[in-house]
Amino acid sequence: KISDVRIMQIELPQEVRKSVYARMEKERFAVAQSIRSRGEEQAKKITSDADRQRDVILAEANRQAAEIRGAGDAAAAATYAKAYGQDPKFFEFYRSLDAYKQAFDQGGSTFVMNPASPFFRYFRAPSDASSKP
């Protein structure tokens, strides 16, 4: 009487074994590729969300900056208007200094202008400056 039968080892023929291993390798490769694809998809989604958030934040910051610049320009204009009302000659002198600064900050010091031009009125001697506009 046989009471127990056990299979201890099964050996596949070499050709079958190679095809089994090749199939297993293809399945593992497909799983790995699927995981990589999902990861790349998630990375693209995260990147696009971050880019969108960056654009929103920059747009809001630019809007606020423009608002602040506008308020500063308005305050400066009001201050200039007030200064002009108090002492028009000083205001004219101050604005000329600003014009000189902007002209000389351009990097050159050569001007092709008539020396009698009102632009140079503060470069002349005090008696000449008061006699010409």
Answer for the pair 107, 99: CB distance below 8 angstroms, yes or no.
no
Considering the domain boundaries, does residue 74 fall inside one? yes
Considering the domain boundaries, does residue 2 fall inside one? no
Whether residues 41 and 95 fall in one domain: no
Q: Which residue has the higher pLDDT, 62 or 131?
A: 62
pLDDT at 3 (0 to 100) = 86
Whether residues 50 and 75 fall in one domain: yes
How much is the pTM? 0.48
pLDDT at 6 (0 to 100) = 85
Q: Cα 89 to the chain's mean position, in Å?
A: 43
Structure tokens at 26: 């293809």
Answer for the pair 83, 94: CB distance below 8 angstroms, yes or no.
yes
Considering the domain boundaries, does residue 57 fall inside one? yes
Whether residues 71 and 18 fall in one domain: yes
Evaluate if residue 132 carries a pLDDT over 60: no
* pLDDT tens, position by position, 107-122: 666 667 777 777 777 7
**Distance separating alpha carbons of residues 116 and 99, to the nearest angstrom:** 17
Whether residues 63 and 91 fall in one domain: no
Rg (alpha carbons) of the chain, rounded to whole number: 42
Number of domains observed in the structure of the chain: 2
* pLDDT tens, position by position, 57-73: 999 999 999 999 999 99
Whether residues 44 and 61 fall in one domain: yes
Whether residues 95 and 59 fall in one domain: no
Considering the domain boundaries, does residue 129 fall inside one? yes
Whether residues 74 and 99 fall in one domain: no
* pLDDT tens, position by position, 19-50: 999 999 999 999 999 999 999 999 999 999 99
Could you list the residue range(s) of the whole structural domain that residue 117 is in? 87-105+112-133
